[in-house]
Structure 1
Amino acid sequence: MSKFDIEQTLGKLTRDEKISLLSAVDFWHTKEIERLGIPSVRVSDGPNGIRGTRFFDSVPSGCFPNGTGLASTFDEELLKEAGKLMGKEAVAKNAAVILGPTANMQRGPLGGRGFESFSEDPYLAGVATASVVQGIQSEGIAATVKHFVCNDLEDQRFSSNATLSERALREIYLEPFRLAVKNADPVCLMSAYNKVNGEHCSQNKKLLLDILRKEWNWDGMIMSDWFGTYTTAASIKNGLDIEFPGPTRWRTNELVSHSLNSREQISIYDVDDRVRQVLKMIKFVLDNQEKTGIVQNGPETTSNNSKETSELLRKIAADSIVLLKNENSILPLKKEESVVVIGPNAKAKASSGGGSASMNSYYVISPYEGIVKKVGKEVPYTIGAESHKTLSNLIEQLVVDPSKPAEGDNAGATGFFYSEPVEKRAKDESPFHVAAFKHSFNLLFDFKHDKIDTNNPLFYITLEGYFTPEEDANYIFGLQVYGTGLLYLDEELLIDQKKGQTRGGFCFGAGTNEKTKTVTLQKGKSYKVRIEYGSGPTSQLVSEFGAGALQVGVAKAIDADEEIKKAAKLAAGHDKAILCIGLNAEWESEGHDREDMTLPGRTNDLVRAVLEANPNTVIVNQSGTPVEFP
């Protein structure tokens, strides 16, 4: 137990220091006041694992099943063990606060972040939330239950108004939070973006003070969701303790001082109430510092990437799988049976949803790779039908050196960072930074370097790698950016996202529409892929997303009808078929909702054709929210 005294410390703080504690200093850290022993505390996402402080080029972490999967175990003790492992993962990232779990209701099946939540049932969601929180906090790490409350859709999430009766609010939407508070006493809660009955949650007196503080007697810290603070005085007076992220927009010294000096909006006692709750979070961190060993602004490591971690993650994942039915004992599969693998998700590594849940995992394999490893030999495969919104999965198929295996440092592409575009660069100019790219979707908005002006993050990247097709065919390449981009294949320009940009849904609506190009490639030949990317400020589109983002992709061009016929024929020629279908991070993501529950593309036609050709088919669906089956 630390000697940190909350009331003594509060009494020693100057007014300016108090105001500075009411907001974070950057995306992931609170304010330090060294003279009083108040450390800067690191927070970290999140729902699928503890990512650390970077989206781009992040240190790998353990990837957990999503909320739907965790709740599907119906195992409180296992969920506590999962929480403990999350706590250990946070220690490896020197993060004292985890931004999770998510306790919202999956009442609407189309919510973009539904996969983060546990259930449409408030009791199950509450028990699951409490179990995970108990596990996290037993390791000396603070949990943050989010998003309080009714944050169950993404469309217009900053302004949407959840209008509902008192009974519905309490029996459905508040109940998981109440159970978590009662059974686990989380150190932190995060307010939601939306309004409830006309008032934003982050300044909603009824929710934050009357219910959470007075009725439930909860005494933790309330933080805003990122950019989810909308006022100065009202949010302070009505119970929002700290604004995230920093630098502050609504709690500058000038704005808060002006509200105080007015003597009508807020008083210093309101500020003291908010600071006191921040200091309570600080005390929890300091009280557990000896146990956690967390270092302020410490390094982010993979120190928890152990055999024990892998075994527990595998156990949790296995127990999260739901067997809907097993007619005629098709399962378990037998080694002597001939098997074919079909489906768009078979070779996809869809380990998490998009947004705050995105992860750079210690280890990811596709269902197809897992099947091949299990049977010890190659298994016949065809895609059957496409399911992507836009093209991806190019960098995942690249290698740095085509003469070496696609593993370790040789897998993916290499990115060379420069201050000038390629046409202005000296031939012998050295990059100021070099990074390995492992994924086709790259958010660069949080990339920082001494050579980059944070107010105008202008830089250029040359990405290089080699693509080797598995068969002679036409291949479609795609590119979308917030910034600018040129995609070359063997030094021939395929796609120009530098000229004629049109706005699309990419990068939360800040980026371009996807541009594509089809080319004929030969099996076994290694083609050099080069991408020239200019960061966000080079964009022709007026947006605010910092250094920007890019996504590149490739897919074999197929005739949809012929591919379904091919899949059915393959299925008919084997004892059993394994059909892998579902969604991915494009469909389930923070920032947007699905339009309907239909499986993507021609998936339903594929399922019907394969089942007709071979009734002994195992259908594997990957989704965190409901989908319609044919």
Structure 2
Amino acid sequence: MTSQTALDPAALVASLPLETKVRLLTGATAFTLAPEESIGLGEVRLSDGPTGVRGLKFSGGRTVALFPNATLLASAWSEESTTEVGRLLAEEALAQQIHVVLGPTINLHRSVLGGRLFEAYSEDPLLTGRLAAAYVRGLQDLGVGACLKHLVANESETERNTMNSVVDPATLRELYLLPFEIAVDESDPWSVMAAYNDVNGVPATEHHHVVNEVLKGEWGYTGLVMSDWFATRTAAPAAAGGLDLVMPGPDGPWGDALVAAVRSGELDESVVDDHLRRLLVLAARVGALGDLRDYPDDLPAPDSAVRREQLTRLAAAGMTVLTNADDTLPLARGTRVALVGRHALETIDMGGGSATVNPPYQVSVAEGLTALLGDAVDVVDGVEVRTRPVPARPGFVVDPDTGRPGLHLTLLAADGTVLDERHDAPSTVMVGFDDDFPQAVARVRFRARVAGEGALEVGAIGVGRWQVTAGGTELAWTLATSGTGFAEEMLAPPTRTDQVHVGSDAVVDATVVLRSSTRSVTVGDADPGTDAGAAAEPLAGVGLFGLVARPAPEAEDDVITRAAAAAAQADVAVVVVGLTEEEETESVDKSTIALPGAQDALVRAVAAAARRTVVVVNAATPVLMPWLDDVDAVLWAGLPGQEGGHAVAAALLGDQEPTGRLVTTFPAADGAAPAWSVTPVDGDLEYTEGRFVGYRGHWADRAPAPAFWLGHGLGYATWEYADATLDTDGDAPAVTVTVTNTGARTSREVVQVYLEPASSDEPVRLVGWADATVDAGASARVTVTADARMWRRWDEAAGGWSRLADGGRLLVARGLGDVRATLALPTA
């Protein structure tokens, strides 16, 4: 890539008229920024992340690699691994000529009900910030920009476009801003995304204090601040509040309104100039200004052998052994396994919303374990795990014209013109958000041949008037949004199903007529200068549409009885349970952390029948485990990406040791956590727990003891700690301890150090960690250097940082539930 050091962004800005400057500060399309030939600015291309680089299409784009989700990657507690992930994602971006990946997500796991937690690393700000900085370094070392999101206090999805996060200054500084501060300081990310929500009554997209005073002022941030998609509500207030770029485009609240604000003197043109200068700095960094960068043509394909190895290894490394009685795990080859559960056959490898990608394949646990154990595995379906219907699965449906997996999709204009026609297509399509057709899509038609015969559940996904024909049965529905908020039609569209009886080779034919309007409702339709903002009215003619077709569900009692019978015949039963994208998704929060459906009853029945029972939890966030004492081992597997089944199998058999440590504290019951509700009251979501979030609140007895603490994870070895020593000569203490692997295999240990301050008004907090890989029977001296930032406290009265009082103690631990040594800190 040609160096851009000779370019002077400020001079380039000065050469442009105001109207051109303003035009460049709103996206050109859903995921691109406009070029400007007169200054050598090329198109800048953005893509959603961070579990894959989806590209310029929200739905139906090119095939790309699907990575393990953020909580699973973070559970390795490894900056080296996170840097590797950044590099691999950069390669995925370069293969598509993408300049900026919209990630990492570094909001905290405040409440475990948050639907989007699967995208974010942890409940702890230090762990989150350090891992984020490593990810950014890996991405940007290859010339692809990162985007920290979402600034700030954006920890839940309920009413996310209108809610106001009420956070006291100390909590805001010490917890929710801290990951952004660490990442800015240690990796200089090239962009940051402002969130949808208000923060203490001020929209995040126009928050002068957070963006101008803290981010760009106090931290000296040199990069660009963009809005979340459709989040910008105003013209001059947002521009004055520090927002540099409005997304998406080409429409939005700036344009003529921002030009008028400058002409009238409401906003100084120098503010616009600074925004554009930052945009040009970003363009120069990613090779889109001046001599445009060249792109390599020899990068690994998403389904290549090298990607398969990388994604399997990264997923398995983050998996966490929660319990393991009598060394039930790893399983020995030759073991007869009853593999039970819907998640075993339909493993959930990614969450919902903007983090979804189109992978080349997704390996189920059934496929992965059978590949290693062959006929020793008896696979048995489990109970239903969803309340919403899912799109037809390619294979169960085939294109009636080609006979290949997928379906025949046709997009039509109002006059009947065929705008697009695809064979072997996925069962869902996004319409209207990022289309480039000459006319608007007015109708979508799906045609698919179904495998098998008999009772069939058939239905539709998406807003509009539906007509469905299946096996001679005609159905008609009108589906509408529930009115819960902006973008519901894209991220959580309405659904409807019925049961019909079909003969062999039946064809399902479904057509939806889209809701039409003369305009699309966006935040930009709000009056500039008002807070009318992120409209709750649905977007006209925009949404996710899909076909549902699958065998009618079986009675739960019959399913459970069959699973228990299979378990009784095996040496060990492996039950795979978990959540789906219904619970772990953008736009929707959970109301409980209980497993959906009758999964708990399934586990209990299998455990009662089996000689030994292993439970694999296929979920990114905590779930309740009322059967915990009834089973022999529990493996938390996260959302493991396209190689998920291979990674789970490798972990179960010990081919790759699951040495993960939890990044979120698991509550023992619904409500048994320091922060719980994610539902605003009169628009406000008050962070009343303050700084005592997650493990901090449990340790201070502000919530009942958890089921599992942050940092917990057993791996496949046992460990002794000895001779812990303290060095206080540096800016922050360093702890050195001897760890001895008393297990039978080489293993990796993660030594964690927590500070318990002298004052009970100050929460316990993670201050550092380090890992070591040690052979069986061997020992290693491990040094953990604490982070000096964790000795700060925000003094609201003084409006600045002060140092914690001397004293307190350091806890050397394998997670806060397993403290191995305590070291007193000196007092003055």
Under a length normalisation based on structure 2, what TM-score does the superposition of the two structures give? 0.68
Moved more, 331-340 or 10-19: 331-340
Q: Give the SS at the match of 2:140.
A: helix
| Match in the other structure for 2:546 | 551
Deviation at 1:171, TM superposition (A): 1.1
Going from structure 1 to structure 2, the CA distance change for 1:140 and 1:600 (only over 3 Å counts) comes to same
Deviation at 1:443, TM superposition (A): 2.4
Q: Give the SS at the match of 1:147.
A: strand
Deviation at 1:479, TM superposition (A): 2.1
Q: Distance in 2 between matches of 1:128 and 1:494?
A: 53
Q: Distance in 1 between matches of 2:292 and 2:420?
A: 36
Q: Give the SS at the match of 2:33.
A: coil
| Residue deviations 1:448-502 (CA, integer Å, cap 9, x gap) | 354x42xx432442x2232223xx7633323232233333223x235322xx545
Q: Give the SS at the match of 1:580.
A: strand
| Residue deviations 1:26-80 (CA, integer Å, cap 9, x gap) | 1111121101111120000112100001123210111111110110111111111
| Match in the other structure for 2:447 | 464
Q: Distance in 1 between matches of 2:376 and 2:361?
A: 21
Q: Give the SS at the match of 1:64.
A: coil
Moved more, 46-55 or 615-624: 615-624
Match runs of 1:186-585 below 5 Å = 186-252=189-255, 254-263=256-265, 265-286=266-287, 293-294=294-295, 303=301, 305-377=303-375, 379-400=377-398, 410-419=404-413, 432-436=419-423, 438-446=425-433, 448=435, 450=437, 452-453=438-439, 456-461=440-445, 463-469=446-452, 474-490=455-471, 492-497=472-477, 500-501=478-479, 503-504=481-482, 508-509=488-489, 513-520=494-501, 525-537=504-516, 543-553=538-548, 554-585=550-581
Q: Give the SS at the match of 1:243.
A: coil
| Residue deviations 1:358-377 (CA, integer Å, cap 9, x gap) | 11012212111222222234
In 1, are the aligned partners of 2:430 and 2:543 still within 8 Å (CA)?
Answer: yes
**How many percent identity over aligned positions?**
30
Letter of the 2:555 counterpart: D
Deviation at 1:517, TM superposition (A): 2.0
| Match in the other structure for 1:627 | 623
Q: Give the SS at the match of 1:552.
A: strand
Match of 1:598 among 585, 594, 601: 594
Deviation at 1:413, TM superposition (A): 1.2
Going from structure 1 to structure 2, the CA distance change for 1:474 and 1:380 (only over 3 Å counts) comes to farther
In 2, are the aligned partners of 1:339 and 1:379 still within 8 Å (CA)?
Answer: yes
In 1, are the aligned partners of 2:568 and 2:611 still within 8 Å (CA)?
Answer: no
Deviation at 1:174, TM superposition (A): 0.7
In 1, are the aligned partners of 2:70 and 2:118 still within 8 Å (CA)?
Answer: yes
Deviation at 1:503, TM superposition (A): 4.2
Going from structure 1 to structure 2, the CA distance change for 1:357 and 1:139 (only over 3 Å counts) comes to same
Q: Distance in 2 between matches of 1:302 and 1:416?
A: 32
Q: Distance in 2 between matches of 1:94 and 1:333?
A: 44
Asked if residue 101 in structure 1 is aligned to residue 104 in structure 2, the reply is: yes
In 1, are the aligned partners of 2:399 and 2:407 still within 8 Å (CA)?
Answer: no
Letter of the 1:616 counterpart: R
Letter of the 1:45 counterpart: D
Q: Give the SS at the match of 2:344.
A: coil
Q: Distance in 1 between matches of 2:342 and 2:47?
A: 32
In 2, are the aligned partners of 1:392 and 1:441 still within 8 Å (CA)?
Answer: no
Q: Distance in 2 between matches of 1:190 and 1:357?
A: 15
Deviation at 1:512, TM superposition (A): 6.9
Going from structure 1 to structure 2, the CA distance change for 1:226 and 1:378 (only over 3 Å counts) comes to farther
Moved more, 96-105 or 567-576: 567-576
Going from structure 1 to structure 2, the CA distance change for 1:362 and 1:228 (only over 3 Å counts) comes to same
| Residue deviations 1:323-352 (CA, integer Å, cap 9, x gap) | 112212222223322211211211114221
In 1, are the aligned partners of 2:33 and 2:44 still within 8 Å (CA)?
Answer: yes
Under a length normalisation based on structure 1, what TM-score does the superposition of the two structures give? 0.89
Question: Structure 2 unaligned runs (5+)?
Answer: 519-535, 627-828
Moved more, 42-51 or 383-392: 383-392
Deviation at 1:433, TM superposition (A): 2.8
In 2, are the aligned partners of 1:42 and 1:95 still within 8 Å (CA)?
Answer: yes
Q: Distance in 2 between matches of 1:279 and 1:609?
A: 62
Question: Structure 1 unaligned runs (5+)?
Answer: none
Q: Give the SS at the match of 1:357.
A: coil
Q: Distance in 2 between matches of 1:542 and 1:189?
A: 27
| Residue deviations 1:514-535 (CA, integer Å, cap 9, x gap) | 332223467xx43323222334
Going from structure 1 to structure 2, the CA distance change for 1:369 and 1:351 (only over 3 Å counts) comes to same
More strand by share: 2
In 1, are the aligned partners of 2:147 and 2:192 still within 8 Å (CA)?
Answer: yes
More helix by share: 1
Deviation at 1:509, TM superposition (A): 5.0
Going from structure 1 to structure 2, the CA distance change for 1:368 and 1:402 (only over 3 Å counts) comes to farther
Deviation at 1:20, TM superposition (A): 1.3
Going from structure 1 to structure 2, the CA distance change for 1:475 and 1:380 (only over 3 Å counts) comes to farther
Going from structure 1 to structure 2, the CA distance change for 1:368 and 1:486 (only over 3 Å counts) comes to farther
Match of 1:26 among 9, 26, 29: 29
Going from structure 1 to structure 2, the CA distance change for 1:39 and 1:447 (only over 3 Å counts) comes to closer
Q: Distance in 2 between matches of 1:459 and 1:502?
A: 16
Q: Distance in 1 between matches of 2:291 and 2:35?
A: 19
Deviation at 1:241, TM superposition (A): 0.5
Moved more, 307-316 or 54-63: 307-316
In 1, are the aligned partners of 2:227 and 2:245 still within 8 Å (CA)?
Answer: yes
How many equivalent residue pairs? 601
Letter of the 2:459 counterpart: G
Q: Distance in 1 between matches of 2:55 and 2:128?
A: 25
Letter of the 1:600 counterpart: P
Match of 1:56 among 48, 56, 59: 59
Going from structure 1 to structure 2, the CA distance change for 1:181 and 1:626 (only over 3 Å counts) comes to same
Q: Distance in 1 between matches of 2:538 and 2:53?
A: 29
